[in-house]
């Protein structure tokens, strides 16, 4: 198993030595200001530009995560935690914000690892939170639609 599969199934740690339960227990301020956890909670097949050295999801990792009930439960808990963060914060409701990139990552990762329903549900809730005439820029909204 790889480091990211072990992190997501709860048996391993991220590059900072944290278990997934510790990351999910971050308060909202930590979620806003720390930038080295989203790549572990929601890995993608491309290297992160923002956080070099973050995990890169392989096909084998994706298959292992999709087949692992513990990893699936932790992935769902991570999505729930991030939605709670977005419900409680409004700084991301701006034309440009680093959370827009995070949201795109989350949707794409959920689609790869948890399926279309999870990804579409997360996106729908984010769009609901953004409102009918969101201050979020059209480019970010487009990325979310394409993710």
**Structure confidence by residue, pLDDT tens digits, 44-74:** 999 998 898 899 999 999 999 999 999 999 9
Where are the domains positioned within the chain?
Answer: 3-146
pTM attached to this predicted model: 0.95
CA 4, CA 15: separation in Å to the nearest integer? 10
Question: Is the CB of residue 113 less than 8 Å from the CB of residue 66?
Answer: yes
Token pair 């930038």: residue:
35
Percent with pLDDT over 90 in the chain = 89
């Amino acid at each position: 198993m790889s480091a990211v599969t072990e992190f997501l199934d709860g048996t391993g740690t991220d590059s900072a030595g944290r278990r997934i339960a510790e990351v999910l227990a971050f308060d909202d301020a930590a979620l806003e200001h720390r930038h080295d956890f989203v790549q572990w909670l929601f890995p993608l097949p491309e290297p992160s530009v923002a956080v070099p050295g973050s995990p890169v999801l392989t096909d084998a990792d994706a298959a292992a995560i999709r087949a692992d009930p513990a990893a699936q439960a932790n992935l769902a808990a991570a999505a729930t935690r991030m939605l709670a963060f977005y419900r409680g914060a409004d700084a991301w409701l701006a034309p440009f914000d680093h959370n827009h990139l995070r949201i795109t990552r989350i949707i794409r990762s959920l689609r790869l690892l948890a399926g279309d329903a999870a990804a579409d549900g997360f996106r729908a809730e984010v769009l609901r939170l953004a409102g009918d005439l969101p201050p979020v820029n059209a480019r970010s909204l487009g990325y979310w639609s394409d993710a």
